[in-house]
A and B are shown apart, each in its own frame.
Chain A
Amino acid sequence: MKIVAVTACPTGIAHTYMAAEQLERTGEKLGHQVKVETQGAMGIENALTGEDFLEAEAVIFAADIPVMGRDRFKEIPLVLEVPVQWAIKNPVAVFERLQG
């Protein structure tokens, strides 16, 4: 599956990046194509592009604060929102949940 994701946490120093790392690693292992945009203390990094949005079949929001540019995702059929901690502690479960 082609999946996009956004990670964000209150201070944007640590959890944002740990969650991004987990989603990328685990997604790859499970055979997905995952691209994660981080919204942290350094601002938006690895920003999702128009092409990403067109191709994405699902989006994961692993965020404890409101995601910036939420409108960008409105065309994506499958949406999953989880606390940032879930992505860090049990990323496999996050993907399982996505697939129902």
Chain B
Amino acid sequence: MTFQHRFAFPLVRGLHARPAAALRERAHLFRADCLLFNEKTGRSSDLRDLLSLIATNTGYGDPCRLAVQGQDAGSALEALSTFLEGAFLESDEEPAAPSSGGIGTVIPQLLQKASVLWWTGQGLSPGAGEGLAVLASGLALPAEEPRLRHTPADLEIKTFAAALAQVEGELLTESTHAEHPTLRAILEAHRGMLQDRAWRGSVAQGIQEQSLTARSAILEAGRAWAKTLEASDQALLRERAADVRGLSARLVRALGGPGPEAPLQTPEEPYVLVARDLPLNQFPRLDRTHLKGMVLTECGPTSHIAILARTFGIPLVAGIHGLPPALAPGARLLVDGAQGIVIEAATPEVGRYFSVESEGQKIHQERLKRHATQPAATRDGHPVAILANLSLAEEASGAFALGAEGVGLFRTEMLFLERAVPPSEDEQFELYRAVLQAAGDRPITLRLLDSGGDKPLPYLRLPLESNPFLGQRAVRWYAQHSDIIRTQIRAALRASAQGGHLRMMVPMVSEASELAWVRQLLEEEARQLQVPAPPLGAMIEVPAAALSLGALAQHADFFCVGSNDLVQYLFAADRNLPAVARPEFAWHPVTLRLLDGIVRAARAAQRPVSICGEMAARPELLPLLVGLGFDALSVAPSAILDLKHAVGTLEASACEDLAMQALACARAQDVEALFRPSSARQPTRPVVEAELLELDVPCLTKEEAIKRLAERAFLSGRTRAPRVLEEAIWSRERVFATGVGYGFAVPHCQTNAMECATLAMLRLVEPVAWGASDEPPVRTVLLLALPGEDVGEAHLRLFARLARRLMDESFREHLENTPDPQTLLETLRSEVLTIW
């Protein structure tokens, strides 16, 4: 017997993925067959098939019929119709944008109020960029891959089933670990789509009836289903097309072989690349003149693509899972790589807000460049060389212009990727010679090929490993393919014979014998070519090597700590997996003790020791690394200027004391408390300087005005965290707006982000609204910012006096009319600062 229930579809946004998933879940409680008929579109679906349900293209008010048949049909219909009238209505709630991002993300006030869409993820390469979103999700198999199978259909069906099981398992794990409910819901919906019987049926049909391979059957089914969804008049259903494409691509990847993404078509205008991940070898082929930012789902802070993004100054945000499916074609994105924010369709106000920050960064960089040519040394004269990490020859001249004192890590993998045979000796020779020449007399440290299971090269023919980071990486396969490494060494020796200062180092060393083997090879080749053997070093990235420097020193002329891998192996935490790779591992006391041991052992063996890796590039960790005694730091070119400047502000003896204290700590947060002091660091700076007075500036919004003031404080070196300062100002503004009438506002705050008491002023060309709409707009803004602790009473007294003086009309007229900052500074000094 069939039970029926007629109803008008009740959800305003139609039957999209979440309500469909909710219906499906209900239907699974019963054994009866439950069918939904949409009498308007003429489509029907089993309630248990998610994708088919969505494809019924059901919109608000559509006449629908539920037909239930089978054993428990009566109770099923009753339960389902009750559900449709009740809890079902809640399944249509607006998906909330994740509101809090990674640690330390500060969401600009403007986004908190503007009606733009934004997401937060992990900011992996700083800077802001805006452009057309380019989704790397086109589906096509490589042209040379056969579409038709030569294998029995059963075998292809089995392969398909295995891929399904694998991706379903992955999705389950991902959704279990997803912290945000919206993300969890999306992943669950994806899992539901994979279970859709109609879709599975169309793949099987392709394999059986059209003799397709599993790979091409998946793609054809995916394309057909995506097309059906795209034809929908419901926006939310159209967006699911991208999910179907993404899932098909994922299944094809799970089947092995090259991924199905079509070669990227990049536009002749600024664009932002959006992709699940970006194969390393694709990066050099991207049109970088127009590439303004990247949004990658799967990328960690030490992924190679993140390293390259930082090198080339391309803003990168990772870990936003909900983004690609939510993007409409032609969408424009603004990527804020410092804070990990991605904004869709930014308004002119938002755009201006971010350009204030970019301009600030640019000025900051220009200023730092003045010292670029000096070798880095602490204030008390202790030298700490700042070297560059490079992956491409083209990066070299830029790095030296930024002040690199040499190349501490030249990765050679790029030349070896994406080809059927290794590069010839001559090809390598040309590359190495180019880098050595660009460097002049600066040292170039060439890292021998660091490849293996994690960066597979077809000609190495290494077996597939379940755990490539622990597998046959680098020096571990050298003996097996000695021809490849011998060629690389010969090319490097020949290049160095033409001039330059070459050093070579061996990656993934875990014991002395590996190094001895390379040393012997190097000396053989040097003898044959009749050139002197260059210094040979060992990378210290395996804990076993870190604990045996004495033995390694017999064969090594220098050491270089690879901190990314060392930390990954020390904590057994995959560096590409944000769920386990916690940033604080870098300054965990255990890491610091291991580093201390390395430096001491290197000293005892009279070998220099440098450190490369992400932790070397963090200015806040610099005092620790200097204090531990590293001779050199090798970092991405984009970090060099800041680091060189930062070295110059340090006192070597104070760094040593700091390192001693850190080594005695029990927890990472105790170390953090040491390098992030909460009190004023520059207690004696004057409260106001001419550069803090910005007169007659065009400004569109209050948000922009506050941002400008924060940037001023940053540029004059009074805060290192302008966004935190900004947020502190806003948290005060939220109590009540600080407009005081007469066209004046006095935003103020007290925050650990400030290093000294500061008075800054902004005079606008056109007034902006400051508080409620009935309050007068503001043209003159005075910022009073105090450090978190150790606020001298003198500063408070000064601000109190300034506040009182503002009530005097003639004083206000001075502030409104004085034409230049210098005169204004004099006025402020005589009127307010005299008592100080």
Contact = CB atoms under 8 A, between A and B. Distances in A.
B803 A11 contact: no
Interface in A42-83: 42, 64, 83
B796 A21 contact: no
B784 A18 contact: no
B93 interface: no
Interface in A10-46: 10-11, 13-18, 20-22, 25, 38, 40-42
Nearest to A10: B735
B804 A21 contact: yes
Interface centre among A14, A18, A83 (most CB of B within 10 A): A14
Contacts of B807: 18, 21-22, 25, 88
Nearest to A91: B807
Contact of B806 (A18, A64, A90): A18
Contacts of B784: 13-14
Given A14-B784, A42-B796, A21 B732 contact: no
Contacts of A14: 738, 746, 748, 784, 799-800, 802-803
A89 B746 CA distance: 13
A85 to B, nearest CB: 7
Interface in B243-282: none
Contacts of B803: 13-18, 21
B804 A13 contact: no
Nearest to A26: B807
A88 B803 CA distance: 10
Interface centre among B740, B749, B750 (most CB of A within 10 A): B740
B732 A11 contact: yes
Contact of A40 (B738, B750, B800, B802): B800
B144 interface: no
| Size bracket, chain B contacts | 20 to 34
Interface string B724-736: 0000000010011
Given A18-B806, A21-B807, A64 B749 contact: no
Given A21-B804, A40-B800, A41-B796, A11 B736 contact: no
| Size bracket, chain A contacts | 20 to 34
B800 A17 contact: yes
Nearest to B746: A14
A40 B738 CA distance: 16
B227 interface: no
Interface in B734-770: 735-736, 738, 740-741, 746, 748-750
B797 interface: yes
B94 interface: no
Contacts of A64: 735-736
Interface in B792-833: 793, 796-797, 799-804, 806-807
Interface string B770-798: 00000000000000101000010100110
Contacts of A40: 796, 800
Contact of A13 (B740, B786, B806): B786
B564 to A, nearest CB: 43
A6 to B, nearest CB: 15
Contact of A11 (B749, B802, B804, B806): B749
Contacts of A42: 793, 796-797, 800
B573 to A, nearest CB: 42
A78 to B, nearest CB: 24
B815 to A, nearest CB: 14
A67 B229 CA distance: 64
Contacts of A90: 741
Contact of B740 (A10, A18, A20): A18
Nearest to A12: B796
Contacts of A88: 740-741, 807
Interface centre among A18, A21, A22, A83 (most CB of B within 10 A): A18
B753 to A, nearest CB: 15
A10 B797 contact: no
A18 B804 contact: yes
Contacts of B796: 13, 40-42
19 contacts: A11-B732, A13-B750, A13-B784, A13-B796, A13-B799, A13-B803, A14-B746, A16-B803, A17-B799, A17-B800, A21-B807, A25-B807, A38-B800, A41-B791, A41-B796, A42-B793, A42-B797, A83-B736, A85-B740
Given A13-B800, A42-B800, A88-B807, 15 more contacts: A11-B732, A11-B748, A11-B749, A13-B750, A13-B796, A14-B746, A17-B801, A17-B803, A20-B804, A21-B803, A38-B800, A42-B793, A42-B797, A88-B740, A89-B741
The 4 closest A-B pairs by CB, nearest first: A17-B803, A21-B804, A21-B807, A89-B741
Interface of A: 10-11, 13-18, 20-22, 25, 38, 40-42, 64, 83, 85, 88-90
Interface of B: 732, 735-736, 738, 740-741, 746, 748-750, 784, 786, 791, 793, 796-797, 799-804, 806-807
